[in-house]
Amino acid sequence: MSTSIPNLRFYSTLTHRKEDFVPIDPGNVRFYACGPTVYDHLHIGNGRMLIVFDVLFRLLRHVYGGDHVSYVRNITDVDDKINARAAERGIDIRQLTEEMTAIFHEDAKALGCLAPTVEPRATEHMEEMKAIIERLVARQCAYVAEDHVLFAVGSMPDYGALARRSLDEMIAGARVEVAPYKRSPMDFVLWKPSKRGEPSWPSPAEIATPGRPGWHIECSAMAWKHLGEVFDIHGGGIDLVFPHHENELAQTRCAFGHQVMANVWMHNGHLQVEGEKMSKSLGNFVTIRELWATENFGGQSWLGEVLRFAIIKSHYRQPTDFTVRNLSESRTELQSWANALAVQKTAMLDAIGQHGVGMTPRPAPQVIDALSDDLNTPQVITELRAMFDRFYNGDTFAAFELIQSCVFLGVLRPHRLGIWNPHHVGSGGKLALPQHQKKLDEIQVAYGNGNAEREATIKAGLMRQGVKATILEDGSIGYEYSNGIDIDSLIALRKEARLAKNWAESDRIRDELAAMGIALKDNKDGTTTWEVKR
């Protein structure tokens, strides 16, 4: 946590101006960002949103402390697109959502994004959705028609304020066919009956027919469950302002009777590719996976650090053009910094050991000042370049500041360069035993190379020896010794192995637990439970 709290100012889409950020509770700063609908690979426009709000998360953690920020990023795992894609592929809906969620996690990790504090799934929040719907019906803000529940837009006097569009303008501009059961063309679905073969749950509002939620109610329910009725920041891409965020805002305010849902609404701008709108029909639809795992874009693969650097060169609210040239220039610049720093590797290792990189990165004050001004990342890039110039002219402390700041931003991972703290971070100040130190080094190499299968195998082996290893946010390894077997941690490692398709390691962990009298049950919702068999 920062010793002195800087004056944070963020631009709010709702008010169209920069505002001083004053959290409701500095001891628990709460923000929500819309996550993926897990039916297909995410594109680089989605990647921009992930990176932008990851930078915001890092800033808030730095200012208020890592334990005092709650970042919720959801998984939408019930949706028309999911149903259609599962049918198209001829697979079970749960199989599709689990597969795409695992791929999303790999993509987010490749981009260097920290895990959110909570990552709720829509299918786990049906009771919260139905509770909000019941509130809205009771307040006459929603109505039942032909087994649907619809939000009555007319019950929200300032509907359209977020998008800056009046209700009359929206009705006049509507080009969709209006369902006959709607009282007004702009009324939107909160709940609808499920068709044969679609996921279904018992319906709210005394509807006998099983159904499923509309898109907008899902985020309202998950935000309410994990952040409360009113929270600090809501984020997403500019394309979500209308109708998703407008509808989310309306239903939440009407359900709970507050003037706001979130005090600040932040949205990142559009992204185009090589000067054109990204479109499958134009052949320029670029997925995150293609960028880091294939050579489809520009004839080569790109490190996550390079992708982050290219994205944050533009201010998050401005449109940006994603080009091979920008990526090449970003890679060249980062590599020039890395090469120069590597020349001073011994001095850097001494500085890192002395100043504590490998714990929590401490970025230069001027970097925090720039980020505090509505995430002014172009100014951050200017400051990083100035640090490199000072280092190049003999200022070794500037090199330390550059490393710290780059690690903080996620645009440099010391383990990729061989510039990391050789003494891994142990709980309680314990140094790793030599035989464990070697394995911790191997985890770091596997993580740096993106070898999730190898990483999971080594972690499981250490766990059997009473050592729990974790990847810290700067890419170094944290560990702790335990006196006994941590069953839940072994189950978590088994899940990692399954996501990495390391079936041998997954089976080995299951067999090991079985030998200890622990029986595992893999549930349909993707969770695993256990019990002791006597």
Evaluate whether 319 touches 269 at the Cβ level (below 8 Å). yes
For the chain, what is the radius of gyration of the CA atoms? 24
Which SS3 state, helix, strand or coil, does residue 472 take? coil
Task: List C-alpha distances in Å: 419 to 409, 414, 440, 450.
Answer: 16, 5, 15, 18
Whether the per-residue pLDDT at 534 is higher than 50: the answer is: no
pLDDT 10s digits, 261-281? 999 999 999 999 999 999 877
Evaluate whether 446 touches 499 at the Cβ level (below 8 Å). no
Closest by Cα among 371, 412, 445, 327 to 112: 412
Alpha-carbon span 29 to 172, nearest angstrom: 40
Strands 320-322 and 271-273: parallel
Instruction: Give pLDDT, residue 519.
Output: 79
Which SS3 state, helix, strand or coil, does residue 423 take? coil
Mean pLDDT comparison of 8-12, 111-115, 337-341, 467-471, highest-scoring range = 8-12
Helices and strands, number each (H, E), in the chain: 19, 18
Q: Across residues 127-147, what is the average pLDDT? A: 98
pTM to 2 decimals? 0.81
Instruction: Give pLDDT, residue 472.
Output: 66
Instruction: Give pLDDT, residue 169.
Output: 73
Q: Which two structure tokens, joined as six digits, stand for 225?
A: 């469950």
Evaluate whether 88 touches 44 at the Cβ level (below 8 Å). no
Task: List C-alpha distances in Å: 354 to 54, 346, 357, 423.
Answer: 28, 12, 8, 11
Give all strands of the β-sheet with 29-33 in edge-to-edge order.
69-73, 29-33, 231-237, 262-268
Mean pLDDT, the chain, rounded, equals 87
Instruction: Give pLDDT, residue 467.
Output: 77
pLDDT bin (cut points 50, 70, 90) of residue 420 is very low
Which SS3 state, helix, strand or coil, does residue 19 take? strand
Of 8-17, 32-41, 269-278, 524-533, least confident by mean pLDDT is 524-533
Amino acid in the structure at residue 50:
L
Evaluate whether 183 touches 153 at the Cβ level (below 8 Å). no
Alpha-carbon span 365 to 116, nearest angstrom: 25
Instruction: Give pLDDT, residue 47.
Output: 98
Q: How many residues does the chain have?
A: 534
Alpha-carbon span 497 to 509, nearest angstrom: 9
Alpha-carbon span 123 to 45, nearest angstrom: 25
Whether the per-residue pLDDT at 62 is higher than 70: the answer is: yes
Q: Is the peptide bond before 319 cis (omega within 30 degrees of 0)?
A: no
Of 7-11, 53-57, 290-294, 371-375, least confident by mean pLDDT is 290-294
Instruction: Quote the DSSP letter at residue 298.
Output: T
- Greatest alpha-carbon pair distance for the chain in Å reads 75
Listed in sequence order, the DSSP H helices in 163-245 are 167-173, 215-227
- Comparison of pLDDT for 441 and 270, the residue scoring more: 270
Alpha-carbon span 345 to 341, nearest angstrom: 6
Instruction: Give pLDDT, residue 533.
Output: 62
Instruction: Give pLDDT, residue 287.
Output: 96
Domains delineated in the chain:
326-417 (1.20.120), 425-532 (no CATH)
Closest by Cα among 213, 217, 207 to 145: 207
Instruction: Give pLDDT, residue 501.
Output: 78
pLDDT bin (cut points 50, 70, 90) of residue 359 is very low
